[in-house]
Amino acid sequence: MTLTAAQQQLISEVARSQVREIAPHEVALFRSTSEAYFKRPNESQRRQVGDGDMLGFGAGGAVTFLTPVILAVATDVVAFLAIELSKQLKVETTDAITALVKRLFKPLRSKVEGAGAGAGRKPAAAASEPPPLSQPQLTQIRKLAYEKAKQFKLTEEQATLLADSMVGNLVVS
């Protein structure tokens, strides 16, 4: 899947929020890790975790980096949300849909609400509220995040934490 610059930025912001929550010790490496991920996003898909070496990082079994997994999970969740919203908003542009997806994540909401204020008006997508997510959609997002995390051979506890955190950061109202 080819990502637009706006989609990459959104995925990066969602993932950074998740890293701050789940693996704060990795925040310092987030920028370089995310840049490498976006240069070759499919590489992380091909390289499964094994032998204690997560995506080529770490020192044997001593270090496991979650940032590449969180980026992959965020990519799938953002793509899922964009598809769901595009079904509901058939006439919106890709960037408008990406802006609406961004508004669904609580930690990123204030950044969107502040956008356009200096120009005296908000972009059309930022001015409207995204449609609320249904319980089946939230269940699907959790399942998607959990299964993606398990593809990277995270422990049950880590996969559950990541999936729950991803859904927890969505606007549920």
Examine residue 51 and state whether it is found in any structural domain, yes or no: yes
Diameter of the chain by CA atoms? 55
* Residue 163 in this model has a pLDDT that exceeds 60: yes
14 neighbors 77 (Cβ within 8 angstroms): yes
Section 120-146 average pLDDT: 75
* Residue 51 in this model has a pLDDT that exceeds 60: no
Examine residue 173 and state whether it is found in any structural domain, yes or no: no
Q: Which two tokens stand for residue 65?
A: 């980096």
Q: Name the pTM for this structure.
A: 0.73
* Residue 146 in this model has a pLDDT that exceeds 60: yes
Examine residue 102 and state whether it is found in any structural domain, yes or no: yes
Q: Residue 7 corresponds to which amino acid?
A: Q
Residue ranges in 23-105 assigned as alpha helix (H): 30-39, 41-46, 67-88, 94-104
Residue 47 pLDDT class (50, 70, 90 cuts): low
* Residue 122 in this model has a pLDDT that exceeds 50: no
Examine residue 57 and state whether it is found in any structural domain, yes or no: yes
How many domains is the chain partitioned into structurally? 1
**Which residues form the domain of 94?**
5-168
Cβ neighbour number for residue 108 with a 10 Å cutoff: 19
Give dist(CA 166, CA 141) in Å, integer.
Answer: 8
Tens digit of each residue's pLDDT (9 = 90 or more) over 69-96 = 999 999 999 999 988 888 877 766 777 7
